[in-house]
Chain A
């Protein structure tokens, strides 16, 4: 059997998830030039928000019907945490040197992990997450699990909606203006504080959707799940060109596919059998990142911008 379609599908699914999380990094960076290292934890709390909604459901409630409510629950929790973080942790530091909010973000990430670890019942170890019943679906020689269909549908829908929002609505144009020049945007009557909160909120909502996808796919959520996923999503955002929303999704997919293909094929190259497989896939993915940044320091879709600082 040809393995390639399967590996491409695996990479695409993983990459779409990275992409959804990467949106949060890229939007916040595009507007306030902050790398929000707590974003991985925003993703994590979204997963627990969705799980809580599911546990509240009466027994026998169909998972398909529960998923929209779970997304809603996850989004509410993630957005609440992200906007609170913006208001109380980042806004007071807006005029401070850039490293100050960055360190704050790392601290916040540890705090959020510990809060979930301590207060969420049964969260000290990985917590089971509901999964769809039924076997995989065959598409072009690749078998795709029911749970994975969710991210394949959600990711393009989210991107389409975000694209419309940014280009067509008043708030979206305000967002673009703030990204280009916050001071001028403010002079033009744009409420930049509101725009910044909005960027955090949209990123958090996307992260929550990714968290539901993660849970449905892997059948578990855990308080540490945000760390590795957040790091990979940040990489995806840089790879695609940080600040560019389509770049974030493209970066995610490139990263996911690269990981998948590296696992599947590098070991088969004669003389490379020691460097293939699951343990080395991150090495290859990050080598790709370095390579791309060497030739396109602004990332795949990034624009060359003058220093704004």
Chain B
């Protein structure tokens, strides 16, 4: 019997260890005032380790650049900004612990991040209770700001402290559907999601808009984002005669999925959202030619307003690229800096005693020309900038195809 119970214990342990993943390094913030200046700490939370770290490191570096730029030009007189990055490993539980860490540090007046909508869900409430402003550069889950009622037109603001510079899945899904149906002329699509908050939301929005336009979803499936072998799913797609595959999820699983799709003899494009718009995607996928992605904003390389950002980013000598969210992160960080400036200016040049409340109150008034265009927030905390771009893989790299704002019904 002892052997049997050993296996039982082992199985329990195995299940437990499913939630156990690698512990990352953490930089402990040590806040020290420098001379006559008041220190304001801004947090940045993103996955700095793990398979989404390419995107996460780009976020951290871009926030760092914004803080350095503000300090260098003394953008807010008498205030020295300090960045405290924390690693959430793309895990909601780690994100929540990080949120508590920020809240307990009284010098933290705002937090940039996170990358994942699912992580954001675990951080929103603690931040809201503490009155600490959060600006995400990447969360596109529509319900994060508008609640589950958005599908039926009953949008209700969820948390007064949550803002974002990224647009919503509602906008992204609608844009993807319009692009695929009208521009690419593809009428039959297979739909796959990775069941995470981001992937499922995007897939649902795509489906709703695509069928509204007259397109046909010939089949749907869900996959486990930790898997790398999707041949069984791919064989299933084959018999449906789909002309494209829409995937709601991120690049680590999308890359082998796309390659196995083409390996099976189906020369149809895989399309995804900003989660697959990473330079890693074509590196991990040798048959990505023709695959499509949508991403928020215009490519920063094409924007005049972003030239300085790109130049400064290069000069700062960061080891990792700014990736998909660099410009949006810079703008998110700058929105917080702007809010601090408004708070300080409204208080005779000194930081108000309740800095968190003053910053939060100032967020509604924030409006400036950022890297990705004019940055301001609507009544839900969503960005007012709804510009999107579709990209296609050409010669193993993403190339912009078409930019525009979708018509929302």
- Can you offer 17 A-B residue contacts whose CB atoms are under 8 A? A35-B10, A37-B13, A106-B17, A109-B17, A124-B54, A136-B263, A223-B22, A227-B226, A277-B222, A277-B223, A278-B192, A279-B195, A279-B221, A279-B223, A297-B4, A309-B2, A309-B3
Would A219 and B7 be within 8 Å (CB), given that A110-B20, A224-B50, A234-B14 are in contact? no
Do residues A125 and B51 form an inter-chain contact, with CB atoms below 8 A?
yes
Question: Interface readout for B154-165 with A: 1 if CB under 8 Å, 0 if not?
Answer: 000000000000
Do residues B236 and A264 form an inter-chain contact, with CB atoms below 8 A?
yes
By beta carbon, the residue of chain A nearest B264 is A143
Asked if B53 CB lies within 8 Å of chain A CBs, one says yes
Q: How far is the CA of A35 from the CA of B7 in the complex (A)?
A: 9
Asked if A99 CB lies within 8 Å of chain B CBs, one says yes
By beta carbon, the residue of chain B nearest A111 is B22
By beta carbon, the residue of chain B nearest A262 is B232
Asked if B378 CB lies within 8 Å of chain A CBs, one says no
By beta carbon, the residue of chain B nearest A146 is B263
Would A1 and B239 be within 8 Å (CB), given that A102-B10, A222-B51, A307-B3 are in contact? yes
- Complex interface: chain A residues within 8 A of B264 (CB): 6, 136, 143
Interface residues of A in 131-169 (CB under 8 A from B): 131, 136, 143, 145
Would A279 and B224 be within 8 Å (CB), given that A10-B231, A110-B20, A220-B256 are in contact? yes
Do residues A99 and B223 form an inter-chain contact, with CB atoms below 8 A?
no
Number of interface residues of B (CB under 8 A): 53
Would A219 and B226 be within 8 Å (CB), given that A117-B22, A126-B51, A126-B280 are in contact? no
Asked if B350 CB lies within 8 Å of chain A CBs, one says no
Asked if A238 CB lies within 8 Å of chain B CBs, one says yes
Q: How far is the CA of A145 from the CA of B1 in the complex (A)?
A: 45
Asked if B303 CB lies within 8 Å of chain A CBs, one says no
Asked if A228 CB lies within 8 Å of chain B CBs, one says yes
A interface residues (Cβ-Cβ under 8 A, vs B): 1, 3, 6-7, 10-11, 13-14, 33, 35, 37, 98-99, 102, 106, 109-110, 113-114, 117, 124-126, 128, 131, 136, 143, 145, 214, 217-220, 222-225, 227-228, 231, 234, 238, 242, 259-261, 263-264, 267, 276-282, 297, 307, 309
Asked if B184 CB lies within 8 Å of chain A CBs, one says no
Do residues B284 and A219 form an inter-chain contact, with CB atoms below 8 A?
yes
Q: How far is the CA of A277 from the CA of B224 in the complex (A)?
A: 10
Q: How far is the CA of A128 from the CA of B279 in the complex (A)?
A: 12
Asked if B285 CB lies within 8 Å of chain A CBs, one says yes
Contact pick for B228, options A225, A260, A277, A279, CB 8 Å = A225
Besides A106-B17, A277-B221, 11 other CB < 8 A contacts?
A7-B235, A37-B17, A98-B6, A102-B9, A125-B54, A128-B284, A220-B256, A264-B235, A267-B221, A277-B222, A297-B4
A165 to chain B, nearest CB (A): 26
Do residues B280 and A7 form an inter-chain contact, with CB atoms below 8 A?
no
By beta carbon, the residue of chain B nearest A13 is B231
Interface residues of B in 5-30 (CB under 8 A from A): 6-7, 9-10, 13-14, 17-18, 20-23
